[in-house]
Amino acid sequence: MLVILLGPPGSGKGTQAVRVAQAKKLNHLSTGDLLREAVKHETDLGKKAKKFMDAGNLVPDELILGLIREKVGGNDGGYLFDGFPRTIPQAEGLDKMLQQIGTGIDFVIDLQVSDEEVMKRLMSRGRADDTEDVVRNRLQVYRKQTQPLQDYYQKKSLLKPVQGEGDIDEIFENILKLFQER
Ligand code: AMP
């Protein structure tokens, strides 16, 4: 099984991803976590990715696709993708990869949170890459490069919207319901 969790920075994507992956026994694959790990250990990837991350820009698609290819080999159960894909070329790269393995995406969860709420949450989160300028840039990058994925997956009838504002447990339950609908 392969499920993608889509949502703006600050949508609670990461928090929900951890819980959903555990409940559904899926491998949680967060490109943000993997990249932060790579930066910490100063690997080749980390060294290349750092400047993009610090500015709130996206790391180049080839680097991300390489990372995903490395992780999604063999057939060791299902995956919950968190923070990937983030661009149309990444989504196309993923489709190609899956075609080669002979599998596909089950559905895409679109966690919906308003801009105001996102800004509020990000400014209070205090992560190193969460200064106001960087946060603003991250949101702009999201709108421009990642939001087109809603259309991309809508056209494939894979998109399932979920209200991302409100009680965390309730949002979690609403996400779990999507798994039952299938
Ligand atoms: P996140 O924790 O998902 O917000 O990711 C933190 C940062 O890592 C982002 O601001 C990007 O610089 C980078 N990043 C994570 N995932 C991707 C991706 N799929 N494509 C490009 N950059 C990414």
- Write the burial class of residue 29 (CB in 10 Å: 0-12 exposed, 13-18 middle, 19+ buried): buried
CA distance 13 to 135: 16
Q: What is the pLDDT of residue 75?
A: 61
Site to probe by mutation for ligand 1, drawn from 28, 30, 31, 71 as the one with most ligand atoms within 8 Å of Cβ, is 31
- Which residue do the tokens 């290819």 mark? 69
Q: What is the pLDDT of residue 119?
A: 83
Q: What is the pLDDT of residue 182?
A: 66
Site to probe by mutation for ligand 1, drawn from 45, 59, 61, 81 as the one with most ligand atoms within 8 Å of Cβ, is 59
pLDDT in tens, 116-173: 898 888 888 777 667 888 888 999 999 999 999 999 999 999 999 999 999 999 999 9
Q: Is 74 a residue whose pLDDT tops 70?
A: no
The helix (H) or strand (E) run that includes residue 3 is: strand 2-6
Average pLDDT over the chain, rounded to an integer: 93
Q: State the distance from the centre of ligand 1 to the C-alpha of 157, rounded, in angstroms.
A: 25
Q: Give percent of the chain above pLDDT 90.
A: 78
* Residue environment code for 40-51, b if the CB has 16+ CB neighbours within 10 A, otherwise e: eeeeebbeebbe
Q: Does the Cβ of 32 fall within 6 Å of ligand 1?
A: yes
pTM for the model stands at: 0.94
Residue 79 tokens read as 């995956």
Which ligand 1 atom sits nearest the alpha carbon of residue 57? 12
